[in-house]
């Protein structure tokens, strides 16, 4: 094994830059996807039949197709349409479709939004009826009940499954390496492999990086669950 090549300063710097790209992509897609997921969950639990069906169809497509296909559809599909390319120099938002990072970010954001919206909508439907009745007895409107009672309770109860979604999205960011000019951790490993033919060392180093970040994320979510879900823990007396 030639680990000395992996630990050369320039290659460690490449992995560091790849890690920054991976983390920035992960945090950005979680932020955008989180906002879209809340809106999607509200739509999925809405009384408007058409809104439920449209958003439900979108989440069904997102959950029923591989993320890699979604990345290809946006970068090699939408991003390569002549109609968009004719406008991506001066007309917003088409100007962003010539940027590899934006295309990957859009695909990841829509993907995590689809899964998270369904999880959150399920938690909202399972809200304790007693909580809603108590809020109505206090004179709250339907919107106030949603904002002050249903949504906060659903967000707390969604934390455990959402932690799995975040970890899955971290691993899924490795698909960004399929987009040209986007250098994440996996893309760095692929470059070292092609330059030095060191597949084991290059990809094992990438695996260690992903493993460390995964443990850090799991630890953060365990602390959040301990704080926000303490009321669900069994009483000791």
Overall residue count recorded for the chain in this entry? 237
What residues contact residue 153 under an 8 Å CB cut-off, 6+ apart? 123, 127, 128, 131
Residue 218, Cα to own-chain centre: how many angstroms? 15
d(CA 123, CA 164) in angstroms, rounded, equals: 16
Rounded to the nearest 10 degrees, the angle between the axes of helix 9-44 and helix 159-172 is: 140
Q: Residue 135 has what pLDDT?
A: 87
The pLDDT of residue 138: 87
pLDDT of residue 90: 74
Closest listed residue to residue 148, CA positions, set 160, 131, 169: 131
The pLDDT value recorded for residue 97 is 72
Mean pLDDT by 10 residues, the chain (237 residues): 83 94 95 96 92 95 94 80 71 73 91 96 90 87 88 91 95 88 90 89 94 96 87 60
For position 66, what pLDDT does the model report?
94
- The correct CATH number of 3-229 out of 1.10.3720.10, 3.40.50.300, 3.30.565.10, 3.40.1010.10 is 1.10.3720.10
Q: So what's the pLDDT on residue 186?
A: 93
Alpha carbons 201 and 105: distance in angstroms, whole number: 28
The DSSP line for the chain is --HHHHTSHHHHHHHHHHHHHHHHHHHHHHHHHHHHHHHHHHHHT-S-HHHHHHHHHHHHHHHHS-HHHHHHIIIIIGGG-HHHHTTTTTSTTGGGGG-HHHHHHHHHHHHHHHHHHHHHHHHHHTS-HHHHHHHHHTT--HHHHIIIIIHHHHHHHTHHHHHHHHHHHHHHGGGGGGSTT---HHHHHHHHHHHH--HHHHHHHHHHHHHHHHHHHHHHHHHHHHHHTGGGSPP--
Q: Tell me, what's the pLDDT at 77?
A: 78
The per-residue pLDDT for 172 is 93
Domain extent listing, the chain: 3-229
Q: What pLDDT score does 231 carry? A: 65
Cα–Cα dist 179/79, whole Å: 12
Predicted confidence at residue 169, as pLDDT, reads 95
pLDDT of residue 234: 58
């Amino acid at each position: 094994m030639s680990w000395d090549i992996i630990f050369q300063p320039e290659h460690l710097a490449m992995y560091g830059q790849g890690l920054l790209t991976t983390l920035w992509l992960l945090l950005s897609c979680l932020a955008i996807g989180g906002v879209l997921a809340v809106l999607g969950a509200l739509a999925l639990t809405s009384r408007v039949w058409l809104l439920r069906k449209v958003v439900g169809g979108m989440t069904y497509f997102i959950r029923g197709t591989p993320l890699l296909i979604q990345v290809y559809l946006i970068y090699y599909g939408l991003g390569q349409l002549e109609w968009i390319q004719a406008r991506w120099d001066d007309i917003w938002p088409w100007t962003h479709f010539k940027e590899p990072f934006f295309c990957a970010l859009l695909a990841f954001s829509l993907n995590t939004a689809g899964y998270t919206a369904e999880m959150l909508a399920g938690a909202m439907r399972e809200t304790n009826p007693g909580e809603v009745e108590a809020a109505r007895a206090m004179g709250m409107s339907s919107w106030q009940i949603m904002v002050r009672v249903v949504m906060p309770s659903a967000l707390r109860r969604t934390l455990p499954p959402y932690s799995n979604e975040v970890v899955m999205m971290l691993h899924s960011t490795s698909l960004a390496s399929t987009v040209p000019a986007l250098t994440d951790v996996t893309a760095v490993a692929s470059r070292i492999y092609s330059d030095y033919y060191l597949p084991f060392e290059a990809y094992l180093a990438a695996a260690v990086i992903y493993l460390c970040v995964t443990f850090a994320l799991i630890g953060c979510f365990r602390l959040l669950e301990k704080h926000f879900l303490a009321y669900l823990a069994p009483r000791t007396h």
